[in-house]
Amino acid sequence: MNTADLGLPVDVPSTALFTDHYELTMLQAALRAGTADRRSVFEVFTRRLPEGRRYGVVAGTGRVLDAVENFRFGAGELGFLRERGIVDEPTLEWLASYRFSGDIWGYPEGEVYFPGSPILRVEGSFAECVLLETVILSILNHDSAIAAAASRMASAAGERPLIEMGARRTHELAAVAASRAAYVGGFATTSDLAAGFRYGIPTVGTSAHAFTLLHDTERDAFRAQVDTLGEGTTLLVDTYDVTEAVGLAVEIAGPGLGAVRIDSGDLLLVAHRVRDQLDELGATQTKIVVTSDLDEYAIASLAAAPVDAYGVGTQLVTGSGHPTCSMVYKLVARAESGDPKAPLRAVAKKSMGAKSSVGGRKWAARRPDERGVAEAEVIGTGAVPAPLVDHQLLVELIKGGTVVAREPLDAVRRRHTEALAGLPLSATQLSRGEAVIPTEYLVNTHG
């Protein structure tokens, strides 16, 4: 199964080499040592949120499911590994039949997370789980960073829609993933057609300054666009003189002009002037769209301006200063032997500084206060306390190697809105602060 089963038109290619060299050398050594079959539990988490952020957003889970499902070593991949001498022949033979057959649990996509949250739990043999580290982290770290920035921008924008338009500011494939993550975080549309094609995200767009410059006059450019796209189109009015352009736009399209876009200047001042001018010309329903390197702070600063929509590019696709979430993939429990019935033993890295981790196969729950507002992220091992049973966060995503939780992107988008609504109001403040709720641990000494 892949995204085509949701009516999406593009399959994911093999992801088998979306990994690091040392994943395969660890595999080879474990196969030779006889430890490769030990039942293991890996968890994805982050030790801290990006500086100043109050919550994180889980995004990319659906892409992780596709990546795991398509982690296959075909003749080309195996030939490359053999030619480079990366692993030996017994390991190549093992890889030729690789299919992840374990279980994956995780926070449902769109959910929020906090330091220590077991965002993903991967269970199976050491050999089959260790290979997935890099591809899982590359997806979750990127997509969650973009979704978190998008969420903050959506909170700042309030009811005003956001347009994702960052494709030209990042890698062409990252742009598609960024558009998907932005949609999860609250953006309404994208300018990127590949994202619309692959994920069904609504696409929008009209014209750039080049179209105006192509024509002999701005009047000619506006006339050509309105004749082609209709009076409901959006006209870009800051190529030359904004006041003159707005007058021309209404003259040509009439009071039914859909919108004008402003891409430069003092947006707060210009937006007020343009609104007054549009109203005076009778175009009271014509909307104002602003672009120009916006981030959540710039959007918030325009809250009192007569702006109807925002277009965001660079700051969105770069995570608004935090392009990764620093998630890690750590072994937290493993069996004593290759016997499938061998009990799990908690394991954890112990080191100086802040890179230690907590061992054991974990559950997570978000404890509400008496009003139903989240007050703590509780993470533990062993039995879940009765008061937290109905507040657990992890859901089954893959069972016995089969995806069991693929869902439409609109459902993920709604989940994020609901998750954010369950947090204290201070979660959406843009001022710097700590995680909006604390993380509490209830960990025993067993796996």
Q: In the chain, pLDDT over 70 holds for what percent of residues?
A: 96
End-to-end CA distance of the chain: give it in Å, rounded.
32
Average pLDDT over residues 161-176: 96
Q: What is the pLDDT of residue 354?
A: 65
Average pLDDT over residues 394-398: 98
What pTM, to 2 d.p., does this model score?
A: 0.94
What long-range pairs does 246-251 form, CB within 8 A, spacing at least 24? Answer: 246/274, 246/277, 246/278, 246/281, 247/277, 247/281, 248/218, 248/219, 248/222, 249/222, 250/278, 250/281, 250/282, 250/283, 250/286
Q: What is the pLDDT of residue 83?
A: 97
Q: What is the pLDDT of residue 353?
A: 63
Q: What is the CATH number of domain 147-321?
A: 3.20.20.70
Q: What is the pLDDT of residue 431?
A: 86
Question: Model confidence over 193-222: pLDDT tens digits?
Answer: 999 999 999 999 999 999 999 999 999 999
CATH 3.20.20.70 in the chain, residues?
A: 147-321
Average pLDDT over residues 134-159: 98
- For the cut 70, the answer to whether the pLDDT of residue 10 exceeds it is no
List for the chain the helix, strand, coil content (%; round to 5). Answer: 40, 20, 40
Q: What is the pLDDT of residue 18?
A: 95
Q: What is the pLDDT of residue 341?
A: 87
For the 3-131+326-442 domain, the top CATH level (class) is alpha beta
Q: Confidence band (pLDDT; 50, 70, 90) for 443?
A: confident
Q: What is the pLDDT of residue 313?
A: 97
Those residues with Cβ within 8 angstroms of residue 425's Cβ, 6 or more apart along the chain or in another chain: none
User: CB of 242 within 8 A of CB of 272?
Assistant: no
Q: Confidence band (pLDDT; 50, 70, 90) for 12?
A: low
Those residues with Cβ within 8 angstroms of residue 22's Cβ, 6 or more apart along the chain or in another chain: none
| Residues 135, 25: Cα–Cα separation, whole Å | 16
- pLDDT: which is higher, 58 or 5: 58
Those residues with Cβ within 8 angstroms of residue 43's Cβ, 6 or more apart along the chain or in another chain: 118, 119, 120, 121, 122, 329, 330, 332, 362
- For the cut 60, the answer to whether the pLDDT of residue 296 exceeds it is yes
Question: Model confidence over 297-354: pLDDT tens digits?
Answer: 999 999 999 999 999 999 999 999 999 999 999 999 999 998 888 999 999 988 766 6
Q: What is the pLDDT of residue 239?
A: 97
Q: What is the pLDDT of residue 430?
A: 92
Those residues with Cβ within 8 angstroms of residue 77's Cβ, 6 or more apart along the chain or in another chain: 14, 16, 17, 95
Q: What is the pLDDT of residue 1?
A: 41
Name which of 76-80, 163-167, 339-343, 383-387 the model is least confident about. 339-343
User: CB of 330 within 8 A of CB of 134?
Assistant: no
Using CA atoms, how far residue 237 sits from 164, 181, 245, 288, in Å, is 20, 30, 5, 10
